[in-house]
Amino acid sequence: MSKIVCVLYDDPVDGYPPAYARDDVPTIAGYPDGQTAPTPERIDFKPGELLGCVSGELGLRNFLESRGHTLVVTSDKEAPDSVLDRELVDADVVISQPFWPAYMTRERIEKARNLQLIITAGIGSDHTDLDAAIENNVTVAEVTYSNSISVAEHVVMMILGLVRNYIPQHQWVLDKGWNIADAVSRSYDLEAMHVGSVAAGRIGTAVLRRLKPFGVHLHYTDKHRLPSEVEEELGLTYHATPQDMAPVCDVVTINCPLHPETEHMFNDELLGSMKRGAYLINTARGKICDRDAIVRALESGQLAGYAGDVWFPQPAPADHPWRTMPHHGMTPHTSGTSLSAQARYAGGTREILECWLDDRPIRDEYLIVKGGALAGAGAHSYTAGAKTGER
């Protein structure tokens, strides 16, 4: 029998919801590229429930305990004597989400002598030391594409929120004011602006598709250029590098993976090359931006706004400067954990576990590391031996 340790974010401050705003969520059978949505043999939850918190348990307890396995669910993952570290010693599987990641360092992987599988409930496995997983023959998997569209929708919301100055305008209502001049003094139309995406993978392309009806000029940069018919359909201008693209854009959205080449990509130099008053959106990974350079750019007016859904570390400490910098629209990494997305990545997590427990192959598109090497989606997205810094 196996021991599964699941690290999830805390319950709502008022307790687990007894009811929800909606009775259901739409069922999605597949994604735009033809990949099917998660297909577990069954689920023990109602789609639309809060599954990503401790009490939600990703809907896994009945399934695992009915088979005689042990499930430990905790949000305690930081201190050296955390529940995660205590339970790791004899754990066979570790599950966590990008929004509340269990940082699976080399030390933790080597401490967990029974560890065979690390699952990201969602997408993005950069919180796992993939080299250590490779060397210790630990399989790493994630629920690819499960919340990509969720993130793309969040990006569009953030762009409009910054450009139209929505958050300060709403604050005037909360403060019982009617200060129209104050509310619109930083408000512009998105129409006719130049908007660029750093990377045009699943999320980046979904963002570009959703922005096309706004009448903007669309740009992108990626190591893998899109087919010419896609560029023509969306009216895209291709740039070989982010350094080429950033100076021509009014809005830049970051949708690339974190690796050594992208770590601190948006530093003082690149930010300084952008148009004065440009907007920057980052739902990819916090370390793609230089933390203090972002603050300086906002304080000087070089950036008109920064909206990010990702921080480093996560959760961000109370004194993180991005909490208090001017003209920001930060969220606590919620873009990919809507209740709709949770139904998909919880189902995908169960699908991966069903395959692993029954000794059946895990979908190739879910695999990051297998058999001591990068595999599946991991072979496309990551490079063995490439690690980012600790800060």
Contact 213, 237 (CB under 8 A): no
State which amino acid sits at residue 118: I
Q: Which of 207, 289, 297, 194 is nearest to 255 (CA)?
A: 207
> Which of 154, 333, 344, 350 is the catalytic position?
333
> Which tokens is 139 given?
């399989």
Residue located via tokens 């974010």: 9
> Which tokens is 233 given?
């359909």
Contact 376, 370 (CB under 8 A): yes
Please confirm, yes or no, whether 136 is among the known catalytic residues. no
> Which of 108, 202, 239, 285 is the catalytic position?
285
State which amino acid sits at residue 215: G
CA distance linking residue 218 with residue 208, whole number of Å: 7
Please confirm, yes or no, whether 333 is among the known catalytic residues. yes
> Which of 147, 282, 302, 342 is the catalytic position?
147
Strand partners, 120: 96, 142
Contact 124, 148 (CB under 8 A): no
> Which of 239, 314, 342, 350 is the catalytic position?
314
Cβ-proximal residues to 115 (8 Å cutoff; 6+ apart), any chain: 88, 91, 92, 93, 94, 109, 136, 138
CA distance linking residue 257 with residue 17, whole number of Å: 34
Whole-Å CA distances, 237 to 200, 207, 232: 12, 15, 9
CA distance linking residue 164 with residue 120, whole number of Å: 35
Contact 308, 176 (CB under 8 A): no
Q: In this structure, what DSSP letter does residue 57 have?
A: G
Alpha carbon dihedral 251, 338, 362, 66, in 10-degree steps, equals 170
The number of beta carbons lying within 10 Å of the beta carbon of residue 33 is 10
Contact 147, 337 (CB under 8 A): yes
Strand partners, 136: none
Q: Which residues are catalytic?
A: 147, 285, 314, 333
